[in-house]
A and B are shown apart, each in its own frame.
Chain A
Amino acid sequence: MTVSVDGADALSGGFADPPIDAARAFRACLDVMARPGRIAELGGAVPPAPLSVAAGTLALTLLDGTTPVHLAGAHDTAAVRDWITFHIGAPFAGASEAAFAFGTWDALTPVDRFAIGTPEYPDRACTLIVECDALEPRGARLSGPGIKDEAFLSLPEVAAFRANRALFPLGFDAFLTAGTRIAGLPRSTIVEDV
C-alpha cells in the first residue's frame, strides 16, 4: 500500500473512540433517516478528499467487510480506496451489486443501476450517499412517514426521487451529505416540486 504524505493518508482519519463515536454517529443517521428533511451534524472521521467528513463518518459507522461499496465518478480514487480498505475492509463492487454507493448526484446517475430490493426482501436495496455542495431546509417539498405535515430539503433532482417513491416498497434509500452535515431521504418519502 502506498502511503501519501499530504496528511490524509490511508492509516489516519479513523474514529478516536470507535464504540462511542460510532454510537453518536449512528444516532445522527437514524434521526435524519427517520425524519426526512431534518439536517444533522455528523463528524468524527477525517477521510481523504473528495469524501466529505459526513460521508466518511457514515462509512465507518455502517460499512464493514460484508457490505459491497461502489465509488462513483471522482470518488473512485486510490486514496479513498486505500482509506476504506484500511479502516473498513469493504469489498469494492459495481453499481448493481453495491449495498452502499458514494458519489455526487451527477456521478451516481442514472440511479436505476442500483439494487432496489426484491418484493419479498425489499431491504436488499442500495443506500446512496449523495455528496452535495450544500444542504438547506428549502427546495423540494417532502411528506410521508417521519414528517409532520411537510418538510423541505435541497435535492439535486426531483424526478428520480419521485420515480423511486413510485416503486415503494422497493427502491433505494439515500443520505445527502455536505461537509459535516447529513440529511436522509428514505424511499417512503413523497417528493414534490414547489
Chain B
Amino acid sequence: MTDQAYNFAYLDEQTKRMIRRAILKGVAVPGYQVPFASREMPMPYGWGTGGVQVTAACLTPEDVLKVIDQGADDTTNAVSIRKFFQRTAGVATTEATGEATLIQTRHRIPEAPLTEDQILVYQVPIPEPLRFLEPRETETRKMHSLEEYGLMHVKLYEDIARHGHIATAYAYPVKVEGRYVMDPSPIPRFDNPKLSDCPALQLFGAGREQRIYALPPYTQAVSLDFEDHPFEASKAPHDCDLCGASDSYLDEVITDDQGGRMFVCSDTDHCRCRREAGHVGRLGTPITEGVS
C-alpha cells in the first residue's frame, strides 16, 4: 500500500526529471560521470542515497524490487531501503534474484547471471577512480577528458613493487569501451568480470558526490592490468560452509575466540537456493521441506 503522503517513489517530479536526464546522458557516454543535483534523502550519506535516487527515478508500479547489501537481503541497509520503496512506491519486493526487475546493490553483483529484463543499481561512495591519486576535481576532470590514466597504472605498479602482485581487492578500476576509466563501486574484484558484456543495464549513483554513471548492456569493461601481471578475480580459497559452493564469493565469519571461523556465501539468495536444492556444506544442516 502506497503511503499517500508521498509522491510516487518519494521524489518530486521535477527532481525525477533532472535525474532521468542525467541517467540518459550517462547511458549515452558509458563510464562518464554525469553531475546531478543530488537531493537530501531521509537517510544519511553513505547509506545509499545515490542508489536510492536512481532507483526512485527508474521505478514503475510494475517493478519487482530486490535490495542487497554486501550480497545479503537481510541486513539493515537492505531492509531499510526495501521498506522505503514498499512504503513510498508500493512496489512488490523479492529476495530471489531471478524474480527481480530492478536490483539495488551495495558492493556486490549477484551470483546468478542477470538478464536483459533487469536493471542493477549500484550505491557508490566515491565515484572518481582517480580521487585518491589526485584530490582536485578540476584536475581529474581534465585527466578524463585527455584520457590521461597513466597515474592509475603507476598506482597498480606500486602495488606490484610493494606486494609482488596487484593488491587492490575491491573497487578495482575498469576501462569502459576503451575510453573512460571507471570505479565499479567497492565490489570485490571477484565480481569485475561480471561487469563486462552483462545483459542487464547497470546504473551507478553517488549521492554525496552527486554523480551518476552507467554501463549499458553488452558493454566492454576491462579491468586494468599489465601483460606480465594479468588481472585475476580472487576469493577466499574455501568452499561455502553452509551450501558447499566452490565458485561463489565468501564472507569470513568469526565463530568464537579460539580461532574458529567459517566461510559462507556473501550472496544469501544464492546460498539459500543451493541449500534448498540439497547442497550441504561442511557446517551446514540439510534444509527440510517447508522450513527455510
Contacts and interface: CB of A to CB of B under 8 A. Distances in A.
Nearest to A147: B218
Contacts of B180: 169
Contacts, number: 112
Interface stretch (A49-57, A72-80, A116-124, A153-161): A116-124
B208 to A, nearest CB: 19
A19 B7 contact: yes
A188 interface: yes
Contacts of A26: 16, 20, 57-58
Given A120-B145, A168-B179, A125 B27 contact: no
Contacts of B30: 145, 188
A146 B218 contact: yes
Contact of A187 (B13, B29, B218): B29
23 contacts: A19-B7, A19-B8, A20-B60, A20-B61, A22-B17, A26-B16, A27-B60, A34-B214, A61-B17, A64-B17, A120-B144, A122-B29, A123-B26, A123-B35, A148-B199, A148-B218, A173-B28, A186-B27, A186-B29, A186-B216, A187-B28, A188-B29, A188-B216
B162 interface: no
A148 B60 contact: no
A35 B28 contact: no
Nearest to A29: B24
B105 to A, nearest CB: 18
A23 B9 contact: yes
A147 B197 CA distance: 10
B21 interface: yes
Given A120-B142, A188-B28, A146 B21 contact: no
B218 A173 contact: no
B99 to A, nearest CB: 18
Contacts of B87: none
Contact of A24 (B7, B60, B217): B60
B20 A66 contact: no
A123 B16 CA distance: 17
A145 B218 CA distance: 6
Which interface residue of B32, B59, B62, B216 has the most chain A CB atoms within 10 A? Answer: B216
A11 interface: no
Contacts of A169: 29, 32, 179-180
A62 B218 CA distance: 26
Interface residues of B, number: 45
B29 A123 contact: yes
A135 interface: no
B218 A18 contact: no
Nearest to A31: B201
Given A23-B60, A61-B17, A169-B180, A33 B24 contact: yes
B34 to A, nearest CB: 5
Contacts of A18: 13
Which interface residue of A26, A35, A125 has the most chain B CB atoms within 10 A? Answer: A26
A30 interface: yes
A12 interface: no
B25 A173 contact: yes
Contact of A66 (B18, B35, B214, B219): B18
Contacts of B60: 20, 23-24, 27
Given A24-B62, A30-B58, A61-B17, 18 more contacts: A18-B13, A19-B13, A23-B8, A30-B23, A61-B20, A62-B17, A62-B24, A64-B17, A66-B18, A119-B146, A120-B141, A122-B29, A125-B25, A146-B216, A168-B29, A169-B180, A173-B25, A188-B177
